[in-house]
Amino acid sequence: MIEALYLKPTSDTPGITFDPATDHFEIIGRSFPEDSAEFFIPVLSWVDRYSKKTNPETKFIFKLEYFNSSSYKPFLDILLKLSQLRKNGQKVTILWCYKEDDWDMKEAGEEFEEIVNIPFNYATFK
């Protein structure tokens, strides 16, 4: 089992909890880093390493308040890597959480869902 990845949320980068030992895979908060590559490349590398030795089931949670245009591509890349795991026979589920009245955020989830072809579950938070 690979080591967990924990990144605390800041005012412009999301909180990351990727912990195979506790089956906790979550991205929360806000994402509008100055340089999305600098922030997300290590995150994507972790997903690559995890892909080589996954848990029997991966429940991935996105609980975002806001993300900007340069965060779309890294989120899509994470989802595409998860989609590949599913194609390889792994059990992967996505829970997309959005604030109660923020239907733009729900629509963003639906757009990703359509592109990566993994069924998403949706939930709201306050």
Partner 1 sequence: MEVMDDSLKNFYDTLNSHQILLLYKGGFNQELIRSVLALTENRHGLNNEMSIVKNRIMTVIVETMQNVCRHAETYRLSDSEIQGKRIPMKPGIFLICRGQGEYIIATGNLVQSSKIDTLKLYLEKVSNMNMNELRSFHKQVLKSTELYGKFGADLGLINIAKVSCRKFEYDFRHFNNGHDFYSFSAAVSTTGKTIQ
For 89, phi then psi, to 5°, come to 100, 0
By the rule CB under 8 A, 114 interacts with partner 1 = yes
CA–CA distance from 92 to each of 28, 100, 115, 120 (Å)? 19, 25, 16, 10
Residues 56-85 that bind partner 1 (CB under 8 A): 65-66, 68-70, 72-74, 76
By the rule CB under 8 A, 37 interacts with partner 1 = yes
Nearest alpha carbon to residue 93 among 40, 26, 33? 26
12 versus 19: smaller Cβ distance to partner 1: 12
CA-to-CA distance for 42 and 113, rounded, in angstroms?
Answer: 23
By the rule CB under 8 A, 48 interacts with partner 1 = no
26 versus 77: smaller Cβ distance to partner 1: 77
34 versus 89: smaller Cβ distance to partner 1: 34
* 20: amino acid identity, one letter: P
58 versus 79: smaller Cβ distance to partner 1: 79
CA-to-CA distance for 35 and 89, rounded, in angstroms?
Answer: 34
Residues 2-31 that bind partner 1 (CB under 8 A): 11-12
